[in-house]
Structure 1
């Protein structure tokens, strides 16, 4: 049962929540009963329905508690189905939430939204500045997931959340794929879902690393340079992907860079295979730079176990820069990405409260 708190007014309630460590450090919307009830109704599920437990504190996540986090984060009820799907994804044992919450590495759940929910539960931005400020759905949905991790999972900086520095994605880290303008099929369809499904894919990732590329449009081989640069960003020598190896990572291509690869006749699977082959660190470099990880007979170290670990999507504005998100590569399931279908068709609104 969700703990009920009382205060003389919302200003005092906000200060109380800060003192209790229930916020992410920023002001929150006070989760009064009426607001939480509206979120629960929007989920189409019973408030006491248990989704699972969240590490490292192993708190039990109910729909009502997720609704509390969604209210605090500033979500609209429309966003609730996506928030629920994201919570289901990080609770999945493959995500290794307990280990990820407790690691000293700078990792945070990156949420990638595909399908109709990008609009029906949003709109969730996929274009210019999608990971930056100004997009309410992106900001509040990602923040709601973090608040569940704080208040249900009990991940608190310096005690159970042991990230040495963290990164801003630990506040919110959410974007949609620009499906309409991409030369490739939607990411979720290549992950085995129907194109009309709405899907949230979550992967523990570092902050975005910028990859600059200004190719010659008349050079038919320019795409190879782009692939080389993306691989350098994904598996740069000091990264966990290059040293520890084996974890999933994300490539976010801007429209111009997607076009370069698409015009070269490459599919998403082709790009992943090309990057996989380029993402390695020679044993001698591992020995020279990271002796503690080299072993007795260091060999060439492939950053990924297979091309399937490299998630590729289009988002952002056109220009010189794409982004790569290396990962942590640890945990029992080696930092696996998890995809969950959004049950957006069960959404319902409370009559008469749309403007309240």
Structure 2
């Protein structure tokens, strides 16, 4: 072990312990220790942006609580962010504010959703945000603390404590922190923010509401059709089916992206191939009691349920073949992770598509909302 406690700056350790215990007693944490924050320390975060500290970034009407720039940055400091991360945290909240589900209380839901951030552009290098190996894991301060800043504000500003306003039945590790960068440098395609009309020189944050991240082990093939089928089969598993339609983000490692690109496939080709394969038979859905939808919520349930109504497919020429995605835009594609193995992932997005054309929201870092 290379750490030497004696070499650390000399401080009053007992006072630090007291501060940490005080913050924990006030329930200002996510269960892990936080960084004590003073007004002088917070000033460094506020100085990193030209935004008014009292500007409201996000409001949840039914809770009658608002997140200001100052409150967002207090929680960024608590999370362990560096002051230079402030514009990213602010842009993340502006993207989240465009999402309809958080404002309606999805973060309080038994479903156990979490915010998920994808960062694009030069800011990744500037702040050391990881986009290559171990993107969902530990080891990079920017990823860990920017995602954590969002969670701490959910707790401290909106009161979303587990067993209280947060009623998640099981939740997800993403509730601690979920922030990755796109591996633009090893992608064979244009980066995600360029696909959305931004310049390559711009930096952006894209926000999703997610339920889980599922890894796809596919080291066995160089055939793009086989790889597309592997992704489709993962998306169409019945346990993931909640609403009439679902959405997914494909996070391809460079190796898998190259399989597609070397075969001449664009991102749109990947999207279309997966979309066309995400279907189930009516019998498959009936076997798990998901062959109809609720009149009230459009959640899947059995055709025998008193609240059930036929799903959209029932009135078509092929009622026994049920598409589980409403449109190709239900599938989004980015490249992230190391170029050392064929292990990609499917991020299960909670946002229903339609009614939204795109199951995400994107915000430019440093821009006014």
With normalisation by structure 2, the TM-score equals 0.83
Alignment check: 8 A CA contact 1:95 1:333 kept: no
Shift of 1:9: 4.0
The question of 1:338 aligning with 2:339 is answered no
Show the counterpart of 1:248. Answer: 247
Show the counterpart of 1:127. Answer: 132
Show the counterpart of 1:137. Answer: 142
| Structure 2 unpaired stretches of 5+ | 1-13, 291-300
Alignment check: 8 A CA contact 1:183 1:258 kept: yes
Show the counterpart of 1:234. Answer: 235
Distance 1:79 1:12 in 2: 27
Shift of 1:55: 6.6
Alignment check: 8 A CA contact 1:100 1:331 kept: no
The question of 1:308 aligning with 2:293 is answered no
Show the counterpart of 1:70. Answer: 76
For 1:173-214, what per-residue CA distance to the aligned partner results, in whole angstroms no more than 9, with x for missing partners?
010000011001101111222222211111111232111112
Distance 1:92 1:117 in 2: 22
Show the counterpart of 1:277. Answer: 276
Show the counterpart of 1:25. Answer: 31
Show the counterpart of 1:113. Answer: 119
Shift of 1:42: 0.8
Distance 2:61 2:248 in 1: 22
Distance 2:62 2:116 in 1: 19
Alignment check: 8 A CA contact 1:94 1:333 kept: no
The question of 1:12 aligning with 2:13 is answered no
Distance 1:341 1:172 in 2: 21
For 1:280-316, what per-residue CA distance to the aligned partner results, in whole angstroms no more than 9, with x for missing partners?
2222211110253444656443222211122211111
Residue pairs, 1:184-195, within 5 angstroms:
184-195=189-200
Q: Judge which range, 154-163 or 76-85, deviates more.
A: 154-163
Q: Judge which range, 271-280 or 301-310, deviates more.
A: 301-310
Distance 1:163 1:332 in 2: 25
The question of 1:320 aligning with 2:325 is answered no
Distance 1:200 1:129 in 2: 19
Q: Which has the bigger relative contact order, CA under 8 A and spacing at least 6?
A: 1
Q: How many equivalent residue pairs?
A: 331
Shift of 1:56: 6.1
1:212 aligned to 209, 217, 229, which one? 217
Say which SS state the counterpart of residue 249 (structure 1) adopts: strand
Residues 76/315 of structure 1: CA separation in 2 closer, same or farther (3 Å cut): same
- Across the aligned residues of Structure 1 and Structure 2, the Cα RMSD in angstroms comes to 2.3
Distance 1:296 1:98 in 2: 25
Distance 2:42 2:61 in 1: 23
For 1:115-146, what per-residue CA distance to the aligned partner results, in whole angstroms no more than 9, with x for missing partners?
111122x2110111011010110000000011
Show the counterpart of 1:86. Answer: 92
Alignment check: 8 A CA contact 2:57 2:67 kept: yes
Distance 1:192 1:106 in 2: 32
Residues 116/26 of structure 1: CA separation in 2 closer, same or farther (3 Å cut): same
Show the counterpart of 2:179. Answer: 174
Show the counterpart of 2:3. Answer: none
Q: Which has more radius of gyration?
A: 2
Shift of 1:74: 0.3
